[in-house]
Structure 1
Amino acid sequence: MVRGQLDGPIHAPRPHPGGTRERGRLRGTPCGWSGNDMADRLQVGMTFEKTRTVTEPLTAAQLHRRGIYVMSTPELVRLVEHCALEGVQPFLQPNQNSVGTRVDLRHLGGTPLGMRVTARTTLVEIDRRRLVFQAEVHDELEKVGEGTHERFIVDAEKHLQRIQEKHARWKSAG
């Protein structure tokens, strides 16, 4: 169990050790970077959870000031992304980061102030450095979100260098 910055723990139970073939890709096998044993590597089937209590800054009322005090869609997306991000971080090498590249999330229902919301992301595909998660979000009464989220594992130094180069190009153009 790993604790994140939001309320609540992240759980990473170990999946079944055997992989299966699905649509031409080997699933259930460890990611390709170095580690001492299977427990040090990401595997298909790992599930991570993140829980948050809905407070006023997280509500739709903050977006359009119309008194809609339910968790906003951007905050639901943020919860899912943080769940996956903080779940995989302990498995990465010190020189690696993961960056979000895609979110496809349906917001199925409103969650009022004070209620707790839990995102659960399950790693369903590892394609080299690309990680695909199935996401479900539940409040204390029902499912309020579902979808997919993709992350890409990058070399932290090279990624930062590309961002700095882009910033320099922008500064010199303007």
Structure 2
Amino acid sequence: MDIPVGTTLKRTMTVGEEHLASRVGSGGLDVFATPAMIAFMEGTALKLAQDFLPEASSTVGTLVNVKHVKASPLGATITCETTITEVDGRRLVYEVKAFDNAGLIGEGIHERFIVDCEKFMSKVAK
């Protein structure tokens, strides 16, 4: 399994009511919630790695260090750009950025670990 450093994936989404801070409980305003932005970043990182992994493997998030620097309204188009910056055995480090039509809204570092799905779930069940 080789995941080249520098590999990048971009994905887009539209801010719906289910993504608002007022709806997810992270704030009282009708703006794109920080937890929703982080989930989109994590999902993009997961998708990026998944294309390189064996079928019985996946990744799990272990670290998120992200700043949410600008609010985005309901209906905004959000683009997440995720780049692998380090591969250290099973540990993957990503640079994550999110943008709306006006520019950067969030950025940071995210780490994931490669796991064998069956072994991982067996340990969780114990």
| TM-score interval, smaller chain | over 0.9
Q: 2:10 aligns with which of 44, 49, 60?
A: 49
Counterpart code for 2:104: K
Counterpart code for 2:32: M
- Output the CA distance in 2 between the equivalents of 1:161 and 1:132: 25
Q: Which runs of 5+ in 1 are unaligned?
A: 1-32, 34-40, 166-174
Residue 120 of structure 1 pairs with residue 81 of structure 2: yes
- Output the CA distance in 2 between the equivalents of 1:64 and 1:160: 29
The answer for the alignment partner of 1:99 in structure 2 is 60
Deviation at residue 149 of structure 1 after TM alignment = 0.3
Question: CA, structure 1 residues 104+65, in 2 after alignment: closer, same or farther (shift >3 Å)?
Answer: closer
Q: Which runs of 5+ in 2 are unaligned?
A: none
The answer for the alignment partner of 1:172 in structure 2 is none
- Output the CA distance in 2 between the equivalents of 1:83 and 1:120: 8
Question: CA, structure 1 residues 109+87, in 2 after alignment: closer, same or farther (shift >3 Å)?
Answer: same
More strand, by proportion: 2
C-alpha offsets along residues 123-168 of structure 1, whole Å, 9 cap, x if unaligned?
0000001000011110011100000000000111110100111xxx
Deviation at residue 71 of structure 1 after TM alignment = 0.4
- Output the CA distance in 1 between the equivalents of 2:7 and 2:44: 12
- Output the CA distance in 2 between the equivalents of 1:101 and 1:86: 16
> Structure 1 residues 73-82 or 57-66, which shifts more?
57-66
Counterpart code for 2:4: Q
Aligned length: 125
- Output the CA distance in 2 between the equivalents of 1:70 and 1:94: 37
- Output the CA distance in 2 between the equivalents of 1:142 and 1:80: 16
The answer for the alignment partner of 1:161 in structure 2 is 122
Contact 2:26 / 2:33 at 8 angstroms: preserved in 1?
A: no
Q: Which has the higher contact order (CA 8 A, sep 6+)?
A: 2
Deviation at residue 64 of structure 1 after TM alignment = 5.8
Moved segments of 4+, more than 2 Å:
none
Counterpart code for 1:93: P
- Cα RMSD over matched residues? 1.2
Counterpart code for 1:52: M
Deviation at residue 78 of structure 1 after TM alignment = 0.3
Deviation at residue 65 of structure 1 after TM alignment = 7.2
